[in-house]
Structure 1
Amino acid sequence: MSSGSTADPMFQRTQDFGDTPTEIRETDHYQHEYVHDFVERWDDLIDWDGRAASEGSFFIDVLKHYGCETVIDAACGTGFHSVQLLRAGFEVASVDGSPQMLTKAFDNARERGFILKTVHSDWRWMSRDLVGRYDAIICLGNSFTHIFNEHDRRRTLAEFYSMLKHDGILILDQRNYDALLDGKTGGPSHKFYYCGEGVSAQPEHVDDGLARFRYEFSDDGSVYHLNMFPLRKAYVHDLMHQVGFQRVTTYGDFQSSYREDDPDFFIHVAEKSYLSADEDDDVSE
């Protein structure tokens, strides 16, 4: 890594973006962004109860619709979705590239009566760390946008594809970066994803190659940042098709019908199963 702190990210408590934070556009830098103190505040940001109320049973319903039983939670974070899926009866492998997140996720699940099967893995080589094929992979929380290099994005999607069963699905979400890049929105509404009280999550810098978000907690005034790549919706669809996914259906804030500028988040459901010739006329929605 050419910039940022050189300390072991496992023991970092403060973020370090160097003298020019908007020049930090490296996939691996996320490990130096999810420092201990930020991870400890992450649940204040998402608010488990608020998040559960806002998304309802959306992901569980989609997984059941496709007959899924085994799921990789590829960006488990502090464990919210892994716990929700375990509670609903799914078999879950909880994966994250941040050891701090995995530790917090394991503790959160244990407090709620569940034991997570946690795996520390880089998506680009996930098949080295997980054995077998799964019915579904979920990659949520805008996590895919931590990848800045196009080759790495293709490699990650190819890894996901290879680890799915022949009729498996990938559920991947992202911010509505189209609206941000085109000046159609000022930032997230806190209605669906980041539901915590007393927390501000707003874009501080946006250009075609970087979306830098500022997270401020009002109780102690602490401030953290994340640097992410602003993925356009059509680009993500195209990448998914290029690595082999057949049909991609996109929801806006959990709704199938929406105006393009309105949603905070897009949720893509990509199907691996082969389409017959008459089904192949329109494979993207």
Structure 2
Amino acid sequence: MTQEKKTQDFGNDPLKVRDTDHYKDEYVSGFVDKWDELIDWDGRANSEGDFFIKLLKEHGAKKVLDVAAGTGFHSVRLLESGFEVTSADGSPEMLAKAFENGRKRGHILRTVHADWRFLNKSVHDLYDAVICLGNSFTHLHSDNDRRKTLAEFYATLRHDGILILDQRNYDALLDHQVQPTHNYYYCGDNVKASPEHIDESLARFRYEFPDKSVYHLNMFPLRKEYVRKLMRDIGFQKVTTYGDFKETYREAEPDFFIHVAEKRYIEGENE
């Protein structure tokens, strides 16, 4: 039996760690155990309201694949709103925590351990919607990994399905327009989340908890228009982007962008 890793290892030069597979070493059990302090389920539910629930219902979605389940926040919320949900994640530690959180709330989560790049090896069904939330897509560090992942998401959707994918507003960070807050997705009052380094191919974030423990995540700073173009390149017909749950916004203001990509064929669509 392998021993759970409690501490992260970024080597002698953390800024050189720009590899998709490293996420397995970032979500160590010590960090996962504290993740819900960072999220604050009640705070997050209040901040986003019923945005995702309404969006899914507007598109007629009933069966949802949560590919970045994390500790289960959205999976549980959607289950409690009447959706049929499958919860997937690349981190077995996260899936175990999600299952535990679901059970505490009276639910048995249907979980799948899956690497997005090979999603359809592990997931053998079609869904009305795929959701990839919590800034998770930025864990993919290469263009090839992102394209392969989006193709896998596309393949598991029904012919008229939708993908809902969010990301931090890295444009504002890269262009030095604003410092990030955590008013929406990171709602824990006593947790500090701040960027230690950012350049065109790395955003390194530091997370400090009340007990003085510190963890890091190395992510790729995705520009908004790049993500929208990727989605269209893969075959999604229409991409609508919201800023902090609003359809109208100034580019530098939102902390997060939320992309809704539609698979259904729209004749003459050229967005």
TM range (shorter): over 0.9
1:192 and 2:199 are equivalent in the alignment: no
SS in structure 2 opposite 1:248? strand
TM-score normalised according to structure 2 size: 0.98
Give the deviation of 1:200 after TM superposition: 0.3
Q: Deviations over 1:157-201 (max 9, x none)?
A: 0000011000000000000000000001122x2211100011000
- Find 2:237's aligned residue among 232, 246, 268: 246
Paired-residue identity, %: 64
Alignment of 1:1-285 (within 5 A): 11-187=4-180, 189-217=181-209, 219-277=210-268, 280-281=269-270, 283=271
**Aligned residue-pair number:** 270
Counterpart-to-counterpart distance in 2, 1:135 and 1:145: 23
Which runs of 5 or more structure 1 residues have no equivalent in the other structure? 1-7
Equivalent-residue separation in structure 2 for 1:132 and 1:104 (angstroms): 24
Question: 3-state SS of the aligned residue for 2:68?
Answer: coil
Ranges of 4+ aligned residues in structure 1 off by more than 6 Å: none
What is the SS of the residue equivalent to 1:72? strand
Task: Measure the CA separation in 1 of the matches of 2:154 and 2:266.
Answer: 16
AA of the residue aligned to 2:41? W
Stretch of structure 1 that moved more, 127-136 or 224-233: 127-136
Could you tell me which residue of structure 2 aligns to residue 4 of structure 1? none
Amino acid at match of 1:203: P
| Distance in structure 2 (CA, Å) of the matches to 1:190 and 1:128 | 35
SS in structure 1 of the partner of residue 196 of structure 2: strand
Unaligned runs of 5+ in 2: none
* Cα offsets for 1:136-176 (capped at 9, x unmatched): 00000000000001111000000000110000000000000
CA shift for structure 1 position 42: 0.3
C-alpha RMSD over aligned residues: 0.8
CA drift at 1:260: 0.3
Give per-residue Cα distances to partners, 1:78-127, cap 9 Å, x unaligned. 00000000000101010000000000000000000111000000001110
What SS is found at the alignment partner of 2:178?
coil
User: Which one-letter code corresponds to 1:32 in the other structure?
Assistant: D
